[in-house]
């Protein structure tokens, strides 16, 4: 890549402070932690109050995105994907079709929409990357990650939420040549392409983080965790991470020079230490016990909290050492986010629990059950302005969790 191209991309990356901050998968810090305060320390006996619900989303597992008083979510109806936009009071503003969706096993939408200024970005289960007008949901441009970038579809459809930074959008076609790409988010024009490790994508939303002034993208491909320079696409390092089905949906977590990675089917994960410029990694510890398949993890005050897959317990591990603090089967395995001292756990059995974030034990403070909606309980919850948004198949539910 020429110096001019690198300069242009660096300039595009730096303008993120000049435009509206985009929404991000797993919250503003991309790690499942939400900066909410003044939330309920305990729920009513019947669970938190439902402010509103909508039960006509169709099929899907994508989470909600919340921006500027509006809520966005996708769903599939009769094979077609739709973007839904709601007012924060639950009123439907529009339902806009964007194209065909995934109709093989585990039907429906997957990746979560990203809102950036007056545009919404989403990736279909069939590998189509869309840029939509936020105002009415009309399509401004689209790219086919398979036809345009010689990528290949994965067995259970594409699951990635695109990453937006300034005027750049990143996606993972999973091709031999175009393994990961950076595009101009206004036009869809290619900025750089990277061969990465030449493997299929692996259902993972990349983590964009800054390490000593260098922006790095970390994501899973079929058998590896890879790190790329966000300005150039250069592959910096790779870490072997295979599992039985090449399924790695969990976005890694970065903290103070270290990166935690993890996946299911008994594979587990570990902690990597980055060198000063981020060009190399060194393993610090590994574990087979915390083998989360799709539910993510959170880091709170030096401890990792998540549930397993083959190892179905909820676990707490010490960040620096990997030491296990507890294991609990108090609720079923599932997704976890964090806010205001509490874990919000949403199990695959439909349990919704408020758990104290402490390494002393899995202390369930309150629990309820998600009875609205259909099919799998897989979507990750979202908290914004004292409201907990839970998507369950054809339903989106807004709970009041403000004290």
What does the pLDDT look like over 319-354, one tens digit per residue?
Answer: 999 999 999 999 999 999 999 999 999 999 999 999
Q: How far apart are CA 119 and CA 65, in angstroms?
A: 13
Look up the pTM and report it. Answer: 0.94
Does position 3 have pLDDT exceeding 70, yes or no? no
User: Given this model, what pLDDT does residue 274 score?
Assistant: 98
Q: Which domains does the chain have, with CATH numbers?
A: 3-400 (2.130.10.10)
Does position 315 have pLDDT exceeding 60, yes or no? yes
What does the pLDDT look like over 139-148, one tens digit per residue?
Answer: 999 999 999 9
Average pLDDT score, the chain? 95
With a pLDDT cut of 90, the percent of the chain lying above it is 95
**Average pLDDT, stretch 246-257?**
98
With a pLDDT cut of 70, the percent of the chain lying above it is 95
What does the pLDDT look like over 346-397, one tens digit per residue?
Answer: 999 999 999 999 999 999 999 999 999 999 999 999 999 999 999 999 999 9
What does the pLDDT look like over 38-77, one tens digit per residue?
Answer: 999 999 999 999 999 999 999 999 999 999 999 999 999 9
Does position 16 have pLDDT exceeding 70, yes or no? no
Q: List the beta bridge partners of residue 254.
A: 259
283 and 270 in contact (C-beta within 8 Å)? yes
Residues in Cβ contact with 128 at an 8 Å cutoff, skipping those fewer than 6 apart: 99, 100, 142, 143, 144, 145
**Average pLDDT, stretch 207-220?**
98
Does position 19 have pLDDT exceeding 60, yes or no? no
User: Given this model, what pLDDT does residue 138 score?
Assistant: 98
Strand 80-87, strand 92-100: pairing: antiparallel
Encoding tokens for residue 30? Answer: 């991309």
**Average pLDDT, stretch 122-128?**
98
Task: Tell me which of 105 and 396 has the higher pLDDT.
Answer: 396
Task: Tell me which of 3 and 83 has the higher pLDDT.
Answer: 83
Phi, psi of 18, deg, nearest 5: -95, -10
Does position 12 have pLDDT exceeding 80, yes or no? no
SS (H, E, C) 8-62: HHHHHHHHHHHCCCCCCCCCCCCCCEECCCCECCCCCCCCCEEEEEECCCCEECC
**Average pLDDT, stretch 94-121?**
97
Does position 2 have pLDDT exceeding 50, yes or no? no
What does the pLDDT look like over 296-305, one tens digit per residue?
Answer: 999 999 999 9
Does position 130 have pLDDT exceeding 70, yes or no? yes
Task: Output 128-137 pairs: Cβ under 8 A, ≥24 positions apart.
Answer: 128/99, 128/100, 129/162, 129/169, 129/171, 129/183, 129/188, 130/98, 130/99, 131/185, 131/188, 132/83, 132/96, 132/98, 134/85, 136/94, 136/96, 137/83, 137/85, 137/94, 137/95, 137/96, 137/98
75 and 60 in contact (C-beta within 8 Å)? yes
**Least confident segment among 9-23, 64-78, 216-230, 265-279:** 9-23
């Amino acid at each position: 890549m020429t110096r001019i191209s690198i300069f242009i991309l660096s300039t595009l990356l730096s303008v993120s402070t000049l435009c509206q901050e985009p929404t991000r998968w797993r919250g503003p810090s991309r790690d499942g932690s939400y900066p909410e305060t003044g939330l309920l320390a305990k729920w009513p006996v019947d669970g938190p109050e439902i402010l509103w619900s909508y039960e006509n989303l169709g099929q899907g597992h994508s989470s909600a995105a919340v921006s500027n008083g509006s809520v966005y979510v996708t769903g599939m109806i009769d094979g077609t994907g739709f973007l839904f936009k709601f007012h924060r009071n639950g009123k439907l503003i529009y339902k806009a079709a964007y194209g065909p969706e995934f109709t093989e096993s585990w039907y429906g939408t997957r990746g979560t929409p990203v809102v950036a200024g007056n545009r919404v970005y989403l990736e279909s289960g069939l590998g189509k990357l869309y840029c939509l007008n936020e105002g009415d949901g009309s399509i401004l441009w689209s790219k086919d990650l398979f036809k345009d970038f010689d990528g290949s579809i994965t067995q259970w459809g594409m699951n990635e939420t695109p990453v937006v930074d300034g005027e750049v959008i990143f996606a993972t076609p999973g091709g031999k040549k175009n393994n990961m790409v950076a595009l101009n988010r206004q036009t869809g024009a290619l900025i750089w392409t990277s061969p990465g490790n030449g493997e299929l994508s692996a259902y993972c939303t990349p983590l964009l983080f800054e390490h000593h002034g260098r922006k790095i993208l970390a994501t899973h491909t079929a058998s590896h965790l890879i790190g790329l320079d966000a300005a150039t696409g250069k592959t910096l390092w790779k870490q072997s991470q295979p599992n039985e089905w090449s399924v790695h949906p969990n976005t890694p977590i970065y903290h103070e020079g270290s990166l935690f990675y993890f996946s299911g089917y008994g594979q587990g994960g570990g902690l990597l230490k980055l060198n000063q410029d981020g060009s190399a990694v060194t393993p610090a510890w590994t574990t087979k016990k915390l083998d989360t398949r799709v539910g993510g993890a959170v880091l709170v005050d030096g401890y990792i909290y998540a549930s397993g897959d083959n190892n179905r317990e909820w676990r707490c591990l010490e960040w620096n050492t990997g030491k296990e603090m507890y294991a609990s089967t108090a609720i079923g395995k599932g997704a976890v986010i964090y806010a205001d001292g509490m874990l919000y756990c949403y199990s695959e059995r439909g349990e919704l629990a408020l758990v104290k974030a402490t390494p002393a034990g899995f202390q369930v403070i309150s629990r309820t059950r998600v009875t609205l909606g259909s099919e799998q309980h897989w979507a990750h919850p979202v908290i914004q302005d004292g409201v907990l948004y839970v998507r369950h198949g054809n339903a989106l539910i807004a709970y009041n969790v403000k004290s």
